[in-house]
Structure 1
Amino acid sequence: MGTASSPVGLHRVLAPHGVLPQAALSLDNAPEIADDEARVRVERLNLDAASYRQLHTAHGGDGEAIRAAVLDIVKNRGKMHNPVTGSGGMLIGTVDEVGPRSPLGLKVGDRVATLVSLTLTPLAVTDELARWDGRSEQVPAEGHAILFARSIAAVLPEDMSSELTLAVLDVCGAPALTTRVVAQHRDRGDDVTVAVIGGAGKSGSLALAAARRAGAARTLGVVPTTAERDRLTAAKVADEVALADARDPVALAHAVTRHLGRPADVTVVCVDVPGCEHGAILATSNGGTVIFFSMATSFPAAALGAEGLAADVTMLIGNGYVPGHADLALTLLRDEPGIRALFTARLAAEAAG
């Protein structure tokens, strides 16, 4: 590509002109790198939960059709950017070339996880995803990806499998942001209560563990099924577990209030289905904070819903990046046996189809 480049990847945008890579309809995924880029040989993709659920639903669970849909997206867009959900995921691979001006601190041979979304990462797949049956979020793949000067990547730890590391780092922004928000409420002198909607999932379980570690007085995990309630209870990462459908605003708010004695000071939304915005707002106390850590969130619905409920809440978009987020998530996994058990069980279930 030569040396002319933009640290945020503008030089890779093919269409439309003038937008950043995440908003682009297509990217240049050529393997030749600029002086400040790095190229990664891809080993595995991790589709985000909202994107995979949408693909699974749209194709009736047909693995071959899901595989073909993902291939079509990557071939047409030069990246994995689900046009319906607007989301992508992340990947792991091995660094095979680093430009002389790359600031990322990577070297050839490093096995890394990208900590930026696939929606803005130039990506090419060369094996037609032949080893993937389309029935799991994790996708064995061959190809390459390009990291810009402003990208983020973490060298994979040696004490856990690649599959486990990828699953954790895919959602590492959730516990980090939860930690920050709980600490802010504690600094105000609050006796902080935290409700995590979707508490048995990847981001939800990590958010619960992070809230407790950050000094929350009480934590509540909310799940939709008895099976998830039993798994989360056994994991012992929440003080209490409630059963409620997050798409039913009144039922959700009632469940949170019944278990915590009042609405939550901090509510973290970690579900991968739409329609949970109003319940989360209704379940949060005036002066509280709602963190939407889900690509299924409708932000107009959240904003207009809060207005319509006259809810004095701060609403945050979990953008996936907080300094130190990868290290925090990996530490929680190492220190919390219940978290590791939830993750390994999920991976085993996906592997079993």
Structure 2
Amino acid sequence: MSGSSPFGVHRVLEPVGESLPQAARVLDPRPEIWPDEVRIDIETLNLDAASYRQLSDKHTGDGDAIRAEVLDIVATRGKMQNPVTGSGGMLIGTVAEVGPQSTLGLEVGDRVATLVSLSLTPLAITDGLERWDGAGERVPARGHAILFGRSIAAKLPDDLTPELALMVMDVCGAPALVARTLRTYAGESPSVVVLGGAGKSGSLSLAAAAEAGATRRVAVVRDAAEAALLEGTGLATHVVIADARNPLGLAEALVPAGGPADLTVVCVDVTGCEQPAILATAEGGTVIFFSMATNFAAAALGAEGLAADVTMLVGNGYVPGHAAYALELLRGNAEVRRLFETRLHE
């Protein structure tokens, strides 16, 4: 290829000329930038929840083994893309160089969070992840990453710690898509069920649902400890303890909370939630799968097999204005902020 592509095709090493960066097996992470690219000096990687869970389960929580596999993935693929889940995460860092044709609006010295997945971001790690014990999704790191002409990044806000801002931006697509979906119910009072309501994307989705006028907001959580996080916050009108992988058990547990909802949002990082989510959704309703653990073939075939008239949306992580919206939800809702700060210090 004679020039750079705004989609990053010029960084694809395998298979050449056949893939976009996310689908490619190997990317070129060299630090030299093309005219429309930006190079970021890395501070922290944030592995997505599904990817980290898979790695942790595979290595039974052995931090050294998890760290070694992450290093191997990045060294082999030129990006952080879990070969099992296909997902990556995002990062924060400082802008080191900006190409003269870049349209991202960034300047050298800006501290930013990338709003595109590490699964498509050229990445090189230079410190061996020596400061990371492998025991959590936040990964202190040194190295660099490359943003393409069509990438997305947001400057870190001055009023939040970088770690807190990163946690919010990592899931900012979920509340924005929830809000946009619920706005289609103009003049009505839609109901919402959020699987994984005590988590990061789940709690923000509940806050977005409340702001969008959802009067019945059901948070499904896995145990009493997670239920306690939500009790008294006002984020949910009902908190239900149930296994989000058990279709009949979940459907039964939702009965006292009003039954199926107009919108069901899947925010859990485990497999097997496709049919339970469909049963949790009223006829004519919508399911948003905001989880990289989702098996979309199982979702489609499951809906067909259940004769369920539901619209199913893939939460792709991008809605215009999503980062600013999520940050405003955090700033404006003390309970959401408390939940995030609690998880920050876990």
TM range (shorter): over 0.9
Contact 1:281 1:311 in 2 (8 A): yes
* Distance apart, 1:239 and its partner CA: 1.3
Does residue 172 of structure 1 match 2:172?
yes
Q: Corresponding residue for 1:292?
A: 289
* Distance apart, 1:74 and its partner CA: 0.3
Query: Which SS does the other structure have where 1:55 is aligned?
Result: helix
Q: Corresponding residue for 1:272?
A: 269
Matches within 5 A, 1:1-353: 4-17=3-16, 18-184=18-184, 186-187=185-186, 189-260=187-258, 262-349=259-346
Contact 2:278 2:310 in 1 (8 A): yes
Q: Distance in 2 between matches of 1:56 and 1:210?
A: 31
Gaps of 5+ in 1: none
Q: Distance in 2 between matches of 1:310 and 1:320?
A: 28
* Distance apart, 1:257 and its partner CA: 3.0
Aligned identity (percent) is 66
TM-score (norm 1): 0.96
The aligned amino acid for 2:268 is V
- Deviation string, structure 1 residues 126-173 (Cα, Å, up to 9, x no partner): 000000000010000000000001100000001111111111100000
Query: Which SS does the other structure have where 1:65 is aligned?
Result: helix
Q: Distance in 1 between matches of 2:254 and 2:289?
A: 17
Query: Which SS does the other structure have where 1:235 is aligned?
Result: coil
Query: Which SS does the other structure have where 2:285 is aligned?
Result: strand
- Deviation string, structure 1 residues 211-241 (Cα, Å, up to 9, x no partner): 0101112111100100000101143311111
* Distance apart, 1:83 and its partner CA: 0.2
Q: Distance in 2 between matches of 1:295 and 1:231?
A: 24
Contact 2:42 2:91 in 1 (8 A): yes
TM-score (norm 2): 0.98
Contact 1:254 1:283 in 2 (8 A): no
Query: Which SS does the other structure have where 1:21 is aligned?
Result: coil
* Distance apart, 1:322 and its partner CA: 0.1
Q: Distance in 1 between matches of 2:205 and 2:67?
A: 31
- Deviation string, structure 1 residues 231-275 (Cα, Å, up to 9, x no partner): 011433111111110010011122223202x31000000000000
Q: Distance in 2 between matches of 1:257 and 1:281?
A: 15
Contact 2:217 2:237 in 1 (8 A): yes
The aligned amino acid for 1:133 is D
Q: Distance in 1 between matches of 2:292 and 2:256?
A: 28
* Distance apart, 1:191 and its partner CA: 2.7
Across the aligned residues of Structure 1 and Structure 2, the Cα RMSD in angstroms comes to 1.1
- Deviation string, structure 1 residues 52-79 (Cα, Å, up to 9, x no partner): 0000000010001000010000000000
Query: Which SS does the other structure have where 1:35 is aligned?
Result: coil
* Distance apart, 1:3 and its partner CA: 8.0
Q: Distance in 2 between matches of 1:301 and 1:289?
A: 16
Query: Which SS does the other structure have where 2:154 is aligned?
Result: strand
Q: Distance in 1 between matches of 2:175 and 2:158?
A: 22
Query: Which SS does the other structure have where 2:231 is aligned?
Result: helix
